[in-house]
Amino acid sequence: MEQQEQTFSRLVREQKSTIYTVCYMFSQNQDEVNDLFQEVLINLWRGFEGFEGRSDVRTWVYRVALNTCISQDRKRRSRPTTELSMDINLFEDRDTDTQQVDMLHRRISHLRPFDRAIVLLWLEDLSYEEIGQIVGISEKNVSVRLFRIKEQLKKMRVES
């Protein structure tokens, strides 16, 4: 058991930024990122023993992270929520780069979860083949979907 825990810890250290990026793209704030990150780790641990290595470990991590985030996103949208706010964010940065990243994040967050997953993987610079393997569609379908998603993002008007 100890060997398995050490191997899992190494996997998490190596894949931490991948997991965080997926969680970020499906979150509205830092608390949601942290909650999703924790959910992904739980699901990775649950599936770790059964991971047979038929696919690359990074592909498996992406698949688990995306499935977890999409499931949580569906649950969140189906429940009414009330957000509590302290009306201050000491970490908020308003430079031009941050504003552009913020705008892109807001636009992407309005996409359907499956499309959001494809954009995220594309932004992570994965090949169409890798994206297809992770989300379970053909390379050609990835290409077509990305073209449509890009057009949709260009036409979007998202309020701050």
Mean pLDDT of all residues belonging to the chain: 85
Instruction: Look at residue 147 and tell me whether its pLDDT is greater than 80.
Output: yes
**Tens of pLDDT, residues 17-55:** 999 999 998 888 899 999 999 999 999 999 998 888 788
Q: What letter represents residue 130's amino acid? A: E
pTM: 0.68
pLDDT for position 160: 45
pLDDT for position 90: 40
pLDDT for position 79: 72
φ/ψ (deg, to 5) at 57:
-60, -35
Taking Cα atoms as reference points, which of 148, 67, 153 lies closest to residue 113? 67
CATH numbers and ranges of domains, the chain: 1-85 (1.10.1740.10), 93-160 (1.10.10.10)
pLDDT for position 103: 80
Taking Cα atoms as reference points, which of 30, 59, 60 lies closest to residue 45? 60
- Is the CB of residue 134 less than 8 Å from the CB of residue 126? yes
Token pair 């592909």: residue: 59
What is the CA 1 to chain-centroid distance, rounded? Answer: 29
pLDDT for position 37: 96
pLDDT for position 140: 96
Taking Cα atoms as reference points, which of 104, 128, 127, 130 lies closest to residue 116? 104
What is the Cα–Cα distance from 131 to 134, expressed in whole angstroms? Answer: 5
